[in-house]
Amino acid sequence: MQRRTNAFTLIELLVVIAIIAILAAILFPVFAQAKAAAKKVSCLSNLKQISLATSIYNNDFDDVMPASLTSWDMGAGDPKGFMDTDLHTMTADSGYGGDPDQSPPLQQVYPYVKSFGLYSCPTASDTSTSGWTKVTGSGLGNSSYVWNGAVGTQSTTRADQIASLIVWAEGPQVTRVGFVQPSPWNKASLQHMNGMDISWVGVIHGSVGGNYGFADGHGKYMARNAVTWAMYGSSGTHWDGASGNLVPNTDHMHLQTGNQNYWYSCGTFDIGNTLTATGGDVCG
């Protein structure tokens, strides 16, 4: 009598391998999506805490929000980045006419945040741009979040739509720089903003949207083309860098393709007059 062995045949083994391969092909994208979703939630949690810290800062300073003035890349090229306390050195390094009496909003609200880890979104990659790369050391930090320059030094009591007024947005990379976008033209014209519709703000998650922090302390995800100029504090009409036309502040940001940067997207910003969609200056 012949004894039968309990071993797989070659055909059976190939069938099992094929089933495993099929299951892997189905599950791996699901795992990747779950991981991306978890990072997105973590980014939003960070931004909510930063926005809430900013709201507490405002309360301590008579409802006045952190100043931002004219430097759009505070800390660029500086060994200490946005946490430098030698403001004359820091703003001179930026090369964009920064105010030597002003520190970045990221530095101003840090005593209320108390953790540099909250300043970076896990989805954001580390930048390789010269002068913007990450810094290391005690008391130094990096960030992937961008301050809305239109709200700098403004009183929250003036905001006519505080729950929809954006104060922080997401950038795609972690850097030593305290970015401000949009940013004022110059110190003499702080209500005239430039660089509103640029490709690297608000497109970190799936290239179509990002998380935003608002003046009342809450945060949420929004598709980029659901964000209006009024939500950044624009009043009246503004210059649309994409079309080259004047449009009302109810107009939306553009979904970006490639590396389009509409730097010359500008207008007058007044957080107490965002319900007005006509009139106003354009690009000061």
Q: What angle do CA 206, 210, 215 make, to 5 degrees?
A: 175
d(CA 86, CA 92): 10
Instruction: Give a yes or no: residue 245 inside a domain.
Output: yes
Instruction: Give a yes or no: residue 277 inside a domain.
Output: no
Reply yes or no: is the peptide bond before residue 105 cis, omega within 30 of 0.
Answer: no
Q: What are the residues whose beta carbons fall under 8 Å from the beta carbon of 128, sequence distance 6 or more? A: none
**What pLDDT score was predicted for residue 112?**
94
Reply yes or no: is the peptide bond before residue 104 cis, omega within 30 of 0.
Answer: no
Highest averaged pLDDT of the listed ranges 24-33, 91-100, 122-131, 162-171? 162-171
Amino acid letter, residue 21: A
Angle between helices 10-60 and 105-113 (to 10 degrees): 100
Instruction: Give a yes or no: residue 62 inside a domain.
Output: yes
Rounded average pLDDT over 167-172: 90
Lowest mean pLDDT among 94-103, 163-172, 175-184: 94-103
Total count of domains within the chain: 1
Domain with 240 in it: 10-269
Per-residue pLDDT band for 278 (boundaries 50, 70, 90) equals low
Rounded average pLDDT over 142-162: 90
Instruction: Give a yes or no: residue 276 inside a domain.
Output: no
* Cβ atoms of residues 71 and 177 within 8 Å: no
Instruction: Give a yes or no: residue 151 inside a domain.
Output: yes
Instruction: Give a yes or no: residue 5 inside a domain.
Output: no
d(CA 235, CA 282): 10
Q: Has residue 10 got a pLDDT over 90?
A: no
Q: Has residue 3 got a pLDDT over 60?
A: no
How many C-beta atoms surround the C-beta of residue 5 within 10 A?
Answer: 4
Instruction: Give a yes or no: residue 275 inside a domain.
Output: no
Rounded average pLDDT over 194-221: 82
Task: Output the pTM of the full model.
Answer: 0.82
Instruction: Give a yes or no: residue 241 inside a domain.
Output: yes
**What pLDDT score was predicted for residue 92?**
46
The SS3 call for residue 207 is coil
